[in-house]
């Protein structure tokens, strides 16, 4: 069962905030992920470990999706807002310099600086879940490891 630390959940994003995000980044966040954001926006998970073929990973925090007003009001968590992280990582998440929008969207911070991401490059409707490897990635050359075919399967693989 998925558990989070008490008091770590932030204000849920409105439908308008989700739509603005989708429109700006030219993606359609999966329905199950949006439901997750509305319930666990920015949460610190207790159920926070998953394994790949290479190693075990530890999730420090799920990123949040905030309106501009909430981002301004909650300055102590703005570093964990998806849009802020996208701005910071920008060209290291994109493999096509002519792309308008994004096709790799970070959704959680991992221990040691990597991120869990939704990867829209193969399927714009149902993104896979991957680990973006920060030390190996460079501008227009993101290095990822696919860990799940979709967000729901990813959540089901989490354990303590």
At residue 52, the pLDDT reads: 86
- Measure the N-to-C terminal CA separation of the chain; round to a whole number of Å: 10
Spatial separation of the C-alpha atoms in residues 78 and 44, rounded to whole Å = 15
Least confident stretch, 75-84, 116-125, 139-148: 75-84
93 within some domain: yes
Residue 90: what are its φ and ψ, rounded to 5°? Answer: 30, -105
Residue 7 lies in a domain: no
Residue 85 lies in a domain: yes
Q: What's the confidence (pLDDT) of residue 53?
A: 81
In-domain check, residue 2 = no
- Residue 75 pLDDT > 90: no
Q: In the predicted model, what is the mean pLDDT of the chain?
A: 94
Is pLDDT at 78 greater than 80 in this prediction?
A: no
Domain carrying residue 22: 15-157
pLDDT at 59 over 90: yes
**Smallest Cα–Cα separation from 130: which of 148, 112, 110?**
148
Indicate the SS3 state at residue 145: strand
**E strand or H helix that includes residue 146:** strand 144-148
In this prediction, residues 136-154 reach a mean pLDDT of 95
Q: Say if residue 73's pLDDT is above 90.
A: no
Query: What is the pLDDT at residue 108?
Result: 98
pTM: 0.95
On whether residue 36 sits in a domain, the answer given is yes
Based on the structure, what is the number of domains in the chain? 1
Angle at 70 between CA 65 and CA 73, to 5 degrees: 135
Q: Is residue 28 part of a domain?
A: yes
Quote the pLDDT of residue 1: 73
Q: For 30-36, what is the mean pLDDT? A: 98
Q: Is residue 127 part of a domain?
A: yes
For 143, phi and psi rounded to 5 degrees?
Answer: -110, 120
For residue 88, the model assigns a pLDDT of 93
Confidence of residue 155 (pLDDT cuts 50, 70, 90): very high
The answer to whether residue 31 is domain-embedded is: yes
CATH number, position 27: 3.40.1580
């Amino acid at each position: 069962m998925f558990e989070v630390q008490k008091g770590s959940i932030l204000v849920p994003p409105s439908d308008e905030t989700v739509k603005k995000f989708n429109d700006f980044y030219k993606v359609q966040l999966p329905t199950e992920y949006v439901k997750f954001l509305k319930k666990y926006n920015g949460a610190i998970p207790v159920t926070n470990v998953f394994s790949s073929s290479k190693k075990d990973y530890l999730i420090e925090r799920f990123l949040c999706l905030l309106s501009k007003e909430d981002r301004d009001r909650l300055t102590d968590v703005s570093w964990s807002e998806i849009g802020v992280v996208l701005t910071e990582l920008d060209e290291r998440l994109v493999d096509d310099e002519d792309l308008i929008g994004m096709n790799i969207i970070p959704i959680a911070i991992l221990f040691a600086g990597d991120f869990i991401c939704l990867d829209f490059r193969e399927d714009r409707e149902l993104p896979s879940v991957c680990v973006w490897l920060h030390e190996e990635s460079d501008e227009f050359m993101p290095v990822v490891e696919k860990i799940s075919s979709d967000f729901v399967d990813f959540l089901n693989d989490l354990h303590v």
